[in-house]
Amino acid sequence: TPRVFSGIQPSGGLTLGNYLGAMKRFVDMQEDVAETIYCMVDMHAITVWQDPDKLARATRELCAGYIASGLDPDKSILFNQSQVAEHAQLAWIFNCVARMGWMQRMTQFKDKAGKNAQNASLGLFAYPALMAADILVYHTTHVPVGEDQKQHLELTRDIAMKFNHDYGVDFFPLTEPVIEGAATRVMSLRDGSKKMSKSDPSDMSRINLTDDAETIAKKIRKAKTDPEPLPSEAEGLEDRPEARNLVNIYAALSDQSVEAVMREVGGKAFSEFKPMLADLAVAKMAPISGEMAKLMQDQAEIDRILADGADRARAIAAPILKKTYEIVGMVGA
Ligand code: TYM
């Protein structure tokens, strides 16, 4: 039976990229799949130093963001990673399965470690093994993510395969990445060649989940474009990264294919298309930020949801970890 797992780092500042590439798709899967498990990966967040008060706030804010986006804590399991120790326990075993060379090839490590990789934390290097543990400790079958996580999911399959091979078992499944829809890679509003990211120094490059209606509209009005009107067909977007990005955002927000959007807006000037996109983005996003702010006023309720989610997650993970320990030959499991 299908089981969906995915996670987001509570490192502060959720963007339209996180929403369209991940959260909105988590909600869609919640309706289609019986078991959906969504995590706030706080242990991944601290692979680069986080201020403790901010980490706690970002974890609760992410939980509020999940719920405001449409996740229902009764249908989906919502919890933070550190509270289900099985993630860390399985990660250690995977640290012993994965090879240094595999980790060295990870582009996210190279990007985040920068020029001075010797100074990166050991946790940042081992990050993908913990991610594989997040996924495999539930015997997850499907993982919805944005395009930038593809390499990590391939590594997860490599770890599952090597574990199964080294111990002569058929125990961990080969998980399918689910990278689908028009917005698997939302780009910066200022530069169509850069991913929309919370770490971009320019706030105008992104829409934050906490932006109000006026800010959202302004950022879209000022988004970078080229001088030509939109092409009449989707193919005409190929060499026009900024135009393509805005059309992709429009398609994802309105639950349409890019082709259907092009039938509606093809040939229009940006002076006409941008206000349409701004109205749509405000209609879809502003209620989420409003709801998040409301949920954040009841911290006790958020903490209750996280504790309940952790109990339900642990109930699935514990027997899988126990079996793993037995396979490895760890006495006492
Ligand atoms: P993170 O926290 O960087 O991002 C969370 C999710 O948002 C997606 N995303 C985007 N999608 C489209 N366009 C963008 N501009 C954009 N920016 C971010 C990401 O692809 C991701 O799906 N390593 C993961 C967290 C993680 C995880 C896991 C995910 C830890 N364990 C297990 C899945 C399964 C990460 O850093 O995501």
Evaluate whether the domain defined by 203-294 bears CATH number 3.40.50.300: no
317 to 113, 167, 246: CA distances (angstroms): 31, 20, 40
Q: Is the pTM of this model over 0.95?
A: yes
Report whether 13 belongs to an annotated binding site: no
Residues of the chain with CATH 3.40.50.620: 3-178+298-328
What SS3 state is found at 102? helix
Whether residue 53 is predicted with pLDDT greater than 80 in this model: the reply is: yes
Whether residue 44 is predicted with pLDDT greater than 90 in this model: the reply is: yes
Average pLDDT over the chain reads 97
What ipTM did this prediction achieve? 0.99
Report whether 248 belongs to an annotated binding site: no
Tens-digit pLDDT profile for residues 128-138: 999 999 999 99
Report whether 84 belongs to an annotated binding site: no
Tens-digit pLDDT profile for residues 161-208: 999 999 999 999 999 999 999 999 999 999 999 999 999 999 999 999
- The Cα–Cα gap between 233 and 250 comes to 15
Residues of the chain with CATH 1.10.240.10: 203-294
Tens-digit pLDDT profile for residues 239-257: 999 999 999 999 999 999 9
Q: From 5, 27, 41, 94, give the residue whose CB has the most ligand 1 atoms within 8 Å, as the site to mutate.
A: 41
Output the residue whose Cα is nearest ligand 1's atom 16.
17
Q: What percent of the chain has pLDDT over 90?
A: 97
Whether the Cβ atoms of residue 147 and residue 179 lie closer than 8 Å to each other: yes
- The Cα–Cα gap between 122 and 46 comes to 11
Give me the mean pLDDT over the 275-295 stretch.
Answer: 97
| Predicted local distance difference test score (pLDDT) of residue 262 | 97
Is 224 one of the annotated active-site residues of the chain? no
| Predicted local distance difference test score (pLDDT) of residue 333 | 77
Q: Could you identify the atom of ligand 1 that is nearest to the CA of residue 146?
A: 20
Q: What is the dihedral of CA 221, 224, 230, 233, to 10 degrees?
A: -120
Is 195 one of the annotated active-site residues of the chain? yes
Superfamily of domain 3-178+298-328: HUPs (3.40.50.620)
Is 112 one of the annotated active-site residues of the chain? yes
Q: From 8, 38, 131, give the residue whose CB has the most ligand 1 atoms within 8 Å, as the site to mutate.
A: 8
| Predicted local distance difference test score (pLDDT) of residue 34 | 87
Closest CA to 186 of 178, 198, 175: 198
Structure tokens at 174: 């080969």
278 to 19, 207, 246, 311: CA distances (angstroms): 16, 11, 10, 41
In sequence order, which residues have a C-beta less than 8 Å from that of residue 202 and are 6 or more positions away?
190
Closest CA to 132 of 97, 165, 166: 97
- The Cα–Cα gap between 120 and 259 comes to 44
Gyration radius (Cα) of the chain, Å:
21
Region label for 41, one of left (φ > 0), alpha (ψ between -120 and 50) or beta (otherwise): beta
Q: Exactly one of 24, 195, 219, 274 is catalytic; name it.
A: 195
| Predicted local distance difference test score (pLDDT) of residue 165 | 98
pLDDT band at 302 (very low <50, low <70, confident <90, very high): very high
Closest CA to 285 of 224, 217, 223: 217
DSSP single-letter state for residue 317: H
CA 37 / ligand 1 centre spacing (Å): 15
84 to 19, 58, 72, 148, 316: CA distances (angstroms): 25, 18, 20, 26, 10
